[in-house]
Amino acid sequence: MTKKILFISWTLGLGHITRDLAIARELRKLIPDVDLSWLACSPASELLLDAGEKVLPESQQLANETELIEQIAEKAHRLNLLKYCVRWATGWGPNLRVFKDIIKKERFDLLVGDEAYEVVAALLQRQISLEEPFLAIHDFFGVDPIQNTLLEKLMGHRIVRTFHGTDPKGLVDFLFAGELEDLPDDRFGFLLPNRRDWARRNCRFPGYIVPFSPSDYSDERQVRAKLGYGDERLIVCSIGGTEIGKNLLELCGQAYPLIKSKIPDLRMILVCGPRLAPESLDVPDTVEVQAYIPALYEHFAASDLAIVQGGGTTTNELAALRRPFLYFPLEEHFEQQVHVAGKLKRHGAGIEMQYSETTPESLANMVLANIGKKVTYPPIPTDGARHTAEIILSQLGSS
């Protein structure tokens, strides 16, 4: 009998859907006739449709997190993620209703939620019950008040208690897309458990999920030839799946003439992603500007240096490819500043930068010091998609 799985992947940008598609590809190797359905918002839904996946029509009824986060991010390269979480939590109702309607109408063998916080919260608070097993994929746990004000601490404690103030066993099966050591070795909050201890008890750790095998991109000249690049020095600058990184791309454009004066054969490509219009950038005409590029990791593999936001998926890809890169965590964004940056520092991958402290001149100097530089950190494990697919297969066997 064909197994039916619902993937819930309605969170921000493209990072989550990229890893979910990688899991789906590995799952189809194990179960070729598996029937996958998807709940996803734009821009993830467009990527799924391009990949030939079945996006449920109810996806059009979902509240879009990406649009909300772009409204909240008022300052250049800054997003207070804790304030966003509080505001988003007040609007969980519509998405939860869509989810409930779907599982009433159609029977699935397994539900997989990639940071589907609305559903996880409802399950942990016993507001809903499910007949199907529910796998929840996360790449960080807890919240971290960056401004460290009393209000932030109170808001953070309230959110954390929702998810970590109860025993999830029998309600949610948590998968952590990474390693135990990626989690800070501290408490979730006052009178709450230690994060690593909680995760050790309640999570499985399939490892890092990337949509490729690094060995396929070990020959840089071959990759460059495939993509049409020559022997020029190549810098790829990317901001991910929202508009928030526009200022970072413009900073890269301002640094370009300074770098090119030292490296005459330099080629810089600014990748806007699916939600930022290339013509909206104020950059020199000599800088290449492109919209969304599928399989951007191939261009990272061909690059001599990448400049990116501090997103978990993009930086994982660069670390896996062992390319030199500079990354700019969104300021006041605790996931990127604490969790992603902490993981990268543990591995020794990339160089952390602060947008508010970086000028075109200082960025140019940092690029000149690192372009083409050979990385020395050990390879990171990248078989998380396969391990996750195996976990899903085991769940289907017991369902």
Q: How far apart are CA 141 and CA 113, in angstroms?
A: 15
Q: What tokens appear for 296 in the block? A: 């951007």
| pLDDT number for residue 319 | 98
One domain for residues 202 and 285:
no
Q: How far apart are CA 186 and CA 193, in angstroms?
A: 8
One domain for residues 200 and 221:
no
Given a cut of 80, whether residue 119 has pLDDT beyond it is yes
Given a cut of 70, whether residue 240 has pLDDT beyond it is yes
Q: How far apart are CA 337 and CA 352, in angstroms?
A: 9
Question: Is 296:270 a contact under the CB 8 Å cutoff?
Answer: no
One domain for residues 228 and 114:
no
One domain for residues 172 and 228:
no
Work out the mean pLDDT of the chain and round it to a whole number.
91
Spell out the long-range contacts of 100-108 with Cβ–Cβ below 8 A and sequence spacing 24 or more: 100/128, 101/58, 102/6, 102/39, 102/56, 102/58, 103/6, 103/130, 103/132, 106/4, 106/37, 107/4, 107/132, 108/4, 108/5, 108/6, 108/37, 108/132
Is 378 a domain residue?
A: no
Q: How far apart are CA 31 and CA 91, in angstroms?
A: 36
Region of 382 (left: φ > 0; alpha: ψ -120 to 50; beta: rest) is alpha
| pLDDT number for residue 76 | 80
CA distances from 200 to 106, 109, 243, 317 (A): 34, 27, 36, 25
Given a cut of 90, whether residue 251 has pLDDT beyond it is yes
One domain for residues 285 and 197:
no
Judge if the upstream peptide bond of residue 43 is cis by omega within 30 degrees of 0: yes
| pLDDT number for residue 89 | 65
One domain for residues 31 and 172:
yes
Given a cut of 60, whether residue 399 has pLDDT beyond it is no
One domain for residues 91 and 218:
no
Is 375 a domain residue?
A: no
One domain for residues 49 and 113:
yes
**pLDDT digit string, tens, across residues 169-203:** 888 999 999 999 999 999 988 888 899 999 999 99
One domain for residues 219 and 317:
yes
Give the pLDDT band of residue 398 (cuts 50, 70, 90): low
CA-based R_g, the chain, Å: 21
Structural domains of the chain, count: 2
| pLDDT number for residue 377 | 93
One domain for residues 178 and 251:
no
Question: Is 332:308 a contact under the CB 8 Å cutoff?
Answer: no
Q: How far apart are CA 359 and CA 281, in angstroms?
A: 17
One domain for residues 358 and 280:
yes
**pLDDT digit string, tens, across residues 273-323:** 888 999 999 999 999 999 989 999 999 999 999 999 999 999 999 999 999
Range of the structural domain that residue 316 is part of:
214-370
Question: Is 79:72 a contact under the CB 8 Å cutoff?
Answer: yes
pTM of the shown model? 0.93
Is 340 a domain residue?
A: yes
One domain for residues 84 and 139:
yes
Q: What tokens appear for 143 in the block? A: 């919240």
Is 376 a domain residue?
A: no
Q: How far apart are CA 89 and CA 83, in angstroms?
A: 10
Given a cut of 80, whether residue 41 has pLDDT beyond it is yes
Sequence-ordered list of residues with C-beta below 8 angstroms from that of 269, at least 6 positions apart, any chain: 234, 235, 236, 237, 288, 289, 290, 299
CA distances from 58 to 54, 131, 137 (A): 12, 21, 22
CA distances from 139 to 158, 171, 179, 199, 349 (A): 20, 19, 9, 11, 17
Q: What is the CATH number of the domain that holds 65?
A: 3.40.50.2000
